[in-house]
Structure 1
Amino acid sequence: MKELYWRGGVPLLIALVTFLIPPPAGLTGQNWHLFGIFFAMIVGFITRPFPMGAVCIIGLCLISITKTLTPSEILVGFSSNAIWLIVMAFFFSRAFLKTGLGKRIAYTILAKIGNHSLTVGYAFALSDLVLCLTTPSSAARAGGILFPIILSVSHALDSRPGPTARKIGAYLIQLVYQTEGVTCALFLTAMAANPLMAEFAQQTAGVTITWTSWAVAAAVPGLIAFMVIPLVLYFVYPPSLKAVPYVKKEALGKLKELGPLTKNEYILLFTFVLALLLWSTAALTGINPTTTAIIAVTILLITQVLDWSDILHETGAWDTLIWMSSLVGLAGLLAKKGFIPWFSENVAQAMTGLDWTIVLGILILAYMYSQYFFASLTAHAAAMYSGFLAVAVGVGAPPLLAALSLAFTANICLGLTHYSAACGGLYFGAGYVPLKTWWSLGLLFSVIQLVVWIGIGSVWWKLLGFW
């Protein structure tokens, strides 16, 4: 109980302070109070007295009873297209788990290329890449689908925590975790906070980021990182087993157990391809990405691949709806009512004389390594993305370049620690990789990720006309 008091008391104290002291010059009392409660909510995400959704409900309650905003203003975020896109994607991803198509994809790829420890690693990473197109949860992809298969393969090859961990298990655990940040960054629908940042980019900098524009911008640096990371890991943290023909044989056996594709898997596969086609051609068809996601879920409901109980029990979707809608609505009002412009103007003035490239570089590095202080990519994005983007644009950085480079950084920092993502505790808890090794590898790959995404990526974004 004492722990709950301080976890809840710290954010509450932060909110209270803004009501007791006058607002800084240039801010109204309403702006100052709104910022105080919003910031307190972010701190609540870190201290976690309650789950994120509950923290947001409490924050909305405080905003309402203090008459900082009207109820209609408080609930404006619940109408966001981007939020409903990610909610529908959660429902879509549930179908992959329910039908077993996610496991079938992983075993199919393993059966094709799983005859060497390096290619087995690529097979797991490639499975994650396919699944991330419609699964906005690293916990569902890396945890729910891939983790049990990794353990099965490792145990079958007599690689367990302890003396035999380095046979192959430790390598596979690190490979999937280090490439998880890449798969999260590749698509707008690959991580729950990505649509949140797209909304922030629109509200803060007037930048519109679509599913297609995100995918095109991420394509070159993402695929390079996807190819480089497993190879580098193979040399700096090599498995002692090299040839592993058993894996291919095991995967074929699992596919035989699964039998031929079921009717529901065929329907899901068709719907999956249809959604990808509509998302990638949205500029030509004029079909909104959220509409595409709704169409996909509707097909799955009508064909009974999913039933209504599946929708009701997808708690991740409803939890995301609550906290993300709350954050999007309040962040938009902070920008609309003047707090974000005031903040960016003051910080930009403090950096007068510095070129925007230097400022953006500093912001990217600060964003990357501040992940050490966060136990959630989403909380990290909610706390820092809007403010950092506002500062970057305020000093003259091209808005689209700043918005995307910071958004990609918000994903690739995942590999730094074992607590950065929901699946991190599961992978670290397996006991294959010591903490010191985990953090050392995380630091190494953070540098590689920055070189690829920001270094090579900036050249690609120059060709695309972002700057």
Structure 2
Amino acid sequence: MNKIVRGIICILIGLVIWFAPIPEGVKPDAWHLLAVFTATIAAFILQPVAIGTASIIGLTTVVITGVLKPGQALEGFSNTVIWLIVAAFMFAKGFIKTGLGRRIAYLLMSKFGDSTLKLAYTMAATDFIVAPFTPSNTARGGGIIYPIARSLCTAFGSEPGPTAGKVGKFLIFSSYNSVIISASVFLTGASNNVVVMKLTQELFGQTITWTQWFMACIVPGIVCSILIPYILYKIYPPELKNTPEAKEMAYQELISMGSMSRNEKILLLIFTGALILWATSSITGVDSAFVALLGLSFMLVTGVLTWDDVLGEKGAWDVLIWMGVLVNMAAYLAKLGLITWFAKLVAAQLVGISWVMVLVLVCIVYTFVHYGFASNTAHVMALFSAFAIVAVAAGAPVLLTAILLGVFANTCSTLTHYACGVSPIFFGSGYITQSEWWRHGFVLSIVHLVIWLGIGIPWMKVIGIW
């Protein structure tokens, strides 16, 4: 299907909704906004144009048609949550530019890299450390984790093909899954998490703080971080079990990097300070976005990053555009009463059904629908509101529902080799076939569902999330 056909399909979807009979109790502006919003989401999925382009077209359409006033349509760009993501992208740039991310990985490898399984855990630990400041699986996994994992495979003579089983199959797939787990644990570990946070605020009037998300996810996240590499170790038993050469390789890499540069030391201080301020935001009252912007300010003033670096970080400005537009449309769907109408409609159909059962079923369907998506963010924008409303209408606690759906929008990335931006990078290494990825990815998705529902729900009860 070429781009023109896909574009026509998106437009037709919008027109069908626009001209369909408006249900009783729904305002015309709300219904027409739903038409534009749905067409824009369809463009996210079918991608006849870039996501940013689709967002700009949607933004222009709601104003030209009189659905929203210009000021209302542009409100999303003043959203502090979006600026949190923009600033966090700059942290990722700093980790890659200064080499601090690589240094952390090699330092851990030099201490714990004497077996293949330990190497996998080391890569997981590296990603866990860097994840709070890199809200992009592509930046973190593709820019830091993948290059190191791939170079380790080469060092052990494990290349795609006959030697892939030495360490490559296991280490590449394990490293990929570690990136997915870290994205789930930290609110700032993936941009789609912040979309969940903002939609929860707009739909239900409840805010998820950085600390709440972390505390809710840390225990099931650690269980996943320990269990999934071990499961893959059994699925792909590497021919090389002991890898003392990895410690030597890491040591040599650290020697070649030399002592920590001035910029690495400064970034480490900024990194630590930001983490402390985020964790204590409920005490200090400092908004999370401005903690990140404060860190960015220090990076710019000290020369860790230049303004050209900031201008060149296309991913951050791309997120600013599409998230500013889409989240604002979703917010106005709530303000114009469409969400309340839908919630009442759903609640009437769920009388007598346990909210726990509804929430479990919602999470399962929400996970496997991702076979039709190539973006975690598109998944969230298309499905989160409807699925969350269904669960909450059945009686499920808002924060529990929102966090679980936020997590499963990440863990579903195990399913396919096109699931999110970083998937094609690891799949493109050539170590894992498509059939292997789909088979084992399905198994891992079940593991995630069992852990996050079986351990996550009780744990979130213990700490007072619900």
TM class by shorter-chain length?
over 0.9
What is the match of residue 246 of structure 2? 247
What is the match of residue 348 of structure 2? 349
1:412 paired to 2:392: no
How far did residue 244 of structure 1 move? 1.0
What is the match of residue 440 of structure 1? 439
Secondary structure in 2 matching 1:261: coil
What is the match of residue 126 of structure 2? 127
1:378 paired to 2:377: yes
How far did residue 144 of structure 1 move? 1.0
More moved, 228-237 vs 190-199? 228-237
Conserved? CA contact 1:415–1:442, under 8 Å: yes
What is the match of residue 167 of structure 2? 168
What is the match of residue 230 of structure 1? 229
Q: What letter matches 2:85 in structure 1?
A: I
What is the match of residue 86 of structure 1? 85
What is the match of residue 283 of structure 2? 284
Q: What letter matches 1:161 in structure 2?
A: P
How far did residue 238 of structure 1 move? 1.3
Matches within 5 A, 1:161-200: 161-200=160-199
What is the match of residue 339 of structure 2? 340
How far did residue 198 of structure 1 move? 0.3
More moved, 15-24 vs 416-425? 15-24
- CA deviations on 1:398-430 (whole Å, 9 max, x unpaired) are 111111111111111111111111111111111
Normalized against structure 2, the TM-score is what? 0.98
Conserved? CA contact 2:149–2:175, under 8 Å: no
What is the match of residue 6 of structure 1? 5
What is the match of residue 48 of structure 2? 49
How far did residue 465 of structure 1 move? 2.3
What is the match of residue 98 of structure 2? 99
What is the match of residue 359 of structure 1? 358
Structure-2 separation of matches of 1:247 and 1:330: 50
Identity %, equivalent residues: 43
What is the match of residue 369 of structure 1? 368
How far did residue 22 of structure 1 move? 2.2
Structure-1 separation of matches of 2:207 and 2:379: 21
Q: What letter matches 1:53 in structure 2?
A: G
Conserved? CA contact 1:205–1:393, under 8 Å: no
Structure-2 separation of matches of 1:446 and 1:183: 15
- CA deviations on 1:212-240 (whole Å, 9 max, x unpaired) are 11111111111111111111111122111
Structure-2 separation of matches of 1:217 and 1:466: 7
More moved, 266-275 vs 71-80? 71-80
Conserved? CA contact 2:376–2:409, under 8 Å: yes
Conserved? CA contact 2:75–2:328, under 8 Å: yes
Structure 2: gaps (5+ residues): none
Secondary structure in 1 matching 2:422: helix
Matches within 5 A, 1:52-71: 52-71=51-70
What is the match of residue 388 of structure 2? 389
- Runs of 4+ in structure 1 off by over 4 angstroms are none
Q: What letter matches 1:18 in structure 2?
A: I
Conserved? CA contact 1:53–1:322, under 8 Å: yes
How far did residue 380 of structure 1 move? 0.1
Structure-1 separation of matches of 2:199 and 2:165: 43
Structure-2 separation of matches of 1:319 and 1:427: 23
Structure-2 separation of matches of 1:21 and 1:393: 27
What is the match of residue 273 of structure 2? 274
Conserved? CA contact 1:95–1:306, under 8 Å: yes
How far did residue 466 of structure 1 move? 2.9
Conserved? CA contact 2:374–2:420, under 8 Å: yes
Superposition RMSD in Å:
1.1
Matches within 5 A, 1:142-153: 142-153=141-152
Structure-2 separation of matches of 1:181 and 1:416: 11
How far did residue 180 of structure 1 move? 2.1
Conserved? CA contact 1:22–1:29, under 8 Å: no
Structure-2 separation of matches of 1:192 and 1:384: 16
How far did residue 351 of structure 1 move? 2.3
